[in-house]
Amino acid sequence: MINNIFKEQDFIKDFPALSKMIDGTKVTYLDNAATTLKPVSMVNAVNEYYLGISTNVHRGKSYSLEEVSNRYEQCRYAVAELLSCSGNEVVFTRNTTEGVNLVANGLEFDEGDKILVSSDSHHSNFLPWMRQAQLLTVRTRNDGSLDLDHYYELLQLNPKLVAINHCSNVTGVYQPIEPMLRAAKEVGAITFVDAAQSIPHRRVNVTQLEVDFLTFSAHKMLGPTGIGILFGRQAMLNNLQPLNLGGGMVNWVEKDSYDLRKIPHRHEAGTPHIAGAYGLSAAIEYIQNLGLEAMESHDKSMGQHMLDLALERDYLRVINSAPNLDRGAVLSFQIPGLSELDDIARILSDSYGIICRNGHLCAQPYVDEHSEGQVLRISAYVYNSEKDVSRFFSCLDELQGVMF
Amino acid sequence: MNMESPVLDKFLEEVEYAYQNVPFYRKALDKLGVITGELCQDSYQQKLPLTDKRDYRKNFPIGVLAKGFSLNHPMLNKSQSSGTTGERLVTFEIGMNLLQRAITCTQVNPYIQDVFTQPNRKICRYAAPNCSDVECASPHSTLQDRLLADGTLVLPVYHDLLTTSPQLVDRAIDEIEQYKPDLFYVDPTHFAFLLREYKKRGLTPPRIPVITSYSAATEVSKRQILEFYPKTHFAEFLSSSEMGWIAMQCPSGRLHLNEESFFFELLDRNYEPAMAGDLAQLCISSIDQGALPHLRYQTGDMVTQLHGNCECGSKNRSIVIEGRESNFIQLGDGIQHSPLSIDRLIGAPDWLDLYQLEQIEHEKFILKMIVNKKYQAESENAVISNLKGLLGKSVDIRLEVVDYIASERSGKFQAVKGMKIDK
């Protein structure tokens, strides 16, 4: 038995990485907010493409090309079912970052336009907007939580676009996006959600949300790297200027003009990550088999367990430890007096086999505001148990005596 | 099997014709040592091989085209299918043979036949486009681009039906208005979708006969079609890219085989002739000595022959289409249920517009439903109860009320999808 929620699942068999050793110590992988481990079924699906007749998609008439194109498009349908949207509202991207950039560069912003962002955003959901328009940044409170009163105040300044961070990659705290999006729509804003940290854990039904765009990556949900998703409402995708121009996204080309294909293909110039689509389909199938409701329970219980253990230790200071928040399985903390945590992260890895993350977590403005320097982050996924988290804190306790 | 001798004679003549003129059949029959002149009612089933789509795809065109024909022969019509099972096929046949097959097929339904055979009649087709979905329904295509030589206007629609944009629906409706067809030749799921769009716009489609093919008409599709059309205006029929028109519904509601144009065999799982009432695979042989003769061709369609004579007076056998074998529900105890039997259980509640039941594991299903304004919480309880009555009380049926269900990659819509079995 690996954990209490997925009792029947043989994760050890499904994830060969869980059996890996570092100098004879079995690895405890707690860096899932960066990227998850990969199941055999996903890797097999990727291999199926590369070891088969690995044709391109939608270019030509060969039998193999049609088969490959079918599998590629079936992945789009699987994503559409996951999000409860239509197939043509799903654009394949490289990752979440590209999804944000596609929208930031594809919309027209005029001088004086404002974009509302959260100060706890990942750089990916911050920098692309910074280049396009004046930012209105929702501040955080001293405890690290987002000041939602400030969010609603800023909406009164009529931002053209509101970019919400569904779940923080630093704190694991989920924002109440339903009322936030509704309020943004009430002031006529285009709504955008960075769901990189939420889609891997929870069911997000875009038809029930007033969201125009939403983006996430496959590699944070058991899929391969190099493929991500941008969901966009049909009208929005139709109005968006394609980020890239080239093959596969036009109906007709003259010497001095061209005509774009219908959505979503107009936003997918060039040969896409075909093997990635095979892999993403397998990853979604794995997740569906586990059950998104069970995954959400796991996410919540692991998040609470992390917080409980962290709060028992006075040598740590958790970033956003506010009670009663909707919290997932991500937790970051600083160690007062230590601004650099490279050595601790290295020792946790090399001596204890624990893989976690240290640094500013691609959310530097937020981390700088709430920490004296670097933070250490642990993040769990379906194959992790409370035992993994407990082990992490026990190891940290051991180090405390000699390092801080 | 009790067979009319003229049909058998025509079949045996077709065998001889295929042997003399088609390299694939000559090679296959020589390999088996079949002497065509010695074949008779008692021996052909043991001696003649069954064929299927792969034979035609692999041997196309040189192996399966009859002597004297080339692909640019002026009398030939090309038919291209992405295939119900996703396996594509290109096929050619003499245009007049196809037309004759269609005319004989409509004999059981005089009302449809009258319209179909009138000079200069115009048809509008609304079904899955047979091309890659990034090429089909290009915004560039005009009405003229989609007008076929036989007076059929192929209406624009996206490959993934439910993603068809409102603009493209408007265009289809406008083109119908402009073209003024005499007959709708449609996929029932596609047509039900179009009718819902008519309704949303407060419009009414033209009151002309509707014949549905390409995929089986579910009860909910039929209900939506019959909201706009009287029963006399609506008939289901069975057709295929390879054969053309195979069977048509008579005014009494029975689907009659086109035995004037084909030699049919209904075979059980052991490839023996099936009895009326038994599940059988439909195998078809051409009998009109065309460009691509087909002998004992396995369609993959599972059917059941109905007992007794039809009150319409036709002597042709009548069948019900149970569905593709690959879409049958497979229970753990080896019991199978056809898509038709599932559809009958789901029925046509007035709150339901479209559904898809997909089997994930032996005892695990997902039922997706697109509902309309008449839906109320727990409306689906009777449907679930019916399904559990057939599939077993312990089966897990996950219910999802959705706005979108993807079409198959063939462009068709599959309402009942059995478990994928690794072969």
| DSSP secondary structure string for all residues of B24-57 | HHHHHHHHHT--GGG--TTTHHHHSPPB-HHHHH
For an interface test with A, the pick among B145, B404, B422 (most A C-beta atoms closer than 10 Å) comes out as: B404
8 A C-beta contact, residue B400 and residue A64: no
Taking an 8 Å cut-off on Cβ atoms, the answer to whether B139 and A77 are in contact is no
Task: Tell me the percentage of chain A whose pLDDT exceeds 70.
Answer: 99
Indicate which residues of A carry an active-site annotation.
362
Chain B residue with the nearest C-alpha to that of A72: B409
pLDDT at B2 exceeding the cut of 50? no
Chain B residues inside the 8 Å CB shell of A261: 134, 138
8 A C-beta contact, residue B25 and residue B19: yes
For an interface test with B, the pick among A44, A71, A76, A86 (most B C-beta atoms closer than 10 Å) comes out as: A86
- How many contacts, defined by CB atoms under 8 Å, are there between A and B? 57
Chain A residue with the nearest C-alpha to that of B137: A262
Taking an 8 Å cut-off on Cβ atoms, the answer to whether A262 and B140 are in contact is no
Q: What is the pLDDT of residue B145?
A: 82
Closest partner CB to A84 (pick from B134, B139, B403): B403
CATH match for A11-38+292-403 among 1.10.260.40, 3.90.1150.10, 3.40.50.1000, 3.30.360.10: 3.90.1150.10
User: Tell me, what amino acid is at A58?
Assistant: H
Q: What is the pLDDT of residue B89?
A: 82
Those residues of chain B whose CB sits closer than 8 Å to some CB in chain A are 82, 86, 88, 132-135, 137-140, 158, 160, 162-163, 165, 402-404, 406, 409
Query: For residue range A316-357, what is the model confidence (pLDDT) as tens digits?
Result: 999 999 888 999 999 999 999 888 999 999 999 999 999 999
For an interface test with B, the pick among A63, A73, A205 (most B C-beta atoms closer than 10 Å) comes out as: A73
Taking an 8 Å cut-off on Cβ atoms, the answer to whether A87 and B137 are in contact is no
Query: For residue range B168-224, what is the model confidence (pLDDT) as tens digits?
Result: 899 999 999 999 999 999 999 999 999 999 999 999 999 999 999 988 999 999 999
CATH H-level, domain B5-121+182-326: superfamily: ANL, N-terminal domain (3.40.50.12780)
Query: For residue range A345-391, what is the model confidence (pLDDT) as tens digits?
Result: 999 999 999 999 999 999 999 999 999 999 999 999 999 999 999 99
Q: What tokens appear for A293 in the block? A: 């409701």
Residue boundaries of the structural domains of chain A: 11-38+292-403, 44-289
Q: What tokens appear for B365 in the block? A: 């299903």
Taking an 8 Å cut-off on Cβ atoms, the answer to whether B134 and A248 are in contact is yes
Q: What is the pLDDT of residue B423?
A: 42
Domain B328-417, CATH: 3.30.300.30
Return phi, psi of residue B10, to 5°: -60, -40
pLDDT at B5 exceeding the cut of 80? no
Which top CATH class is A44-289?
alpha beta
Residue boundaries of the structural domains of chain B: 5-121+182-326, 328-417
DSSP state of B145: G
Query: For residue range A50-82, what is the model confidence (pLDDT) as tens digits?
Result: 999 999 998 778 888 888 998 999 999 999 999
The rounded distance, in Å, linking the Cα atoms of B412 and A377 is 48
pLDDT at B137 exceeding the cut of 90? no
Q: Within 10 A of B4 (CB to CB), how many other CB atoms are there? A: 10
Kind and range of the H or E element at A90? strand A90-93
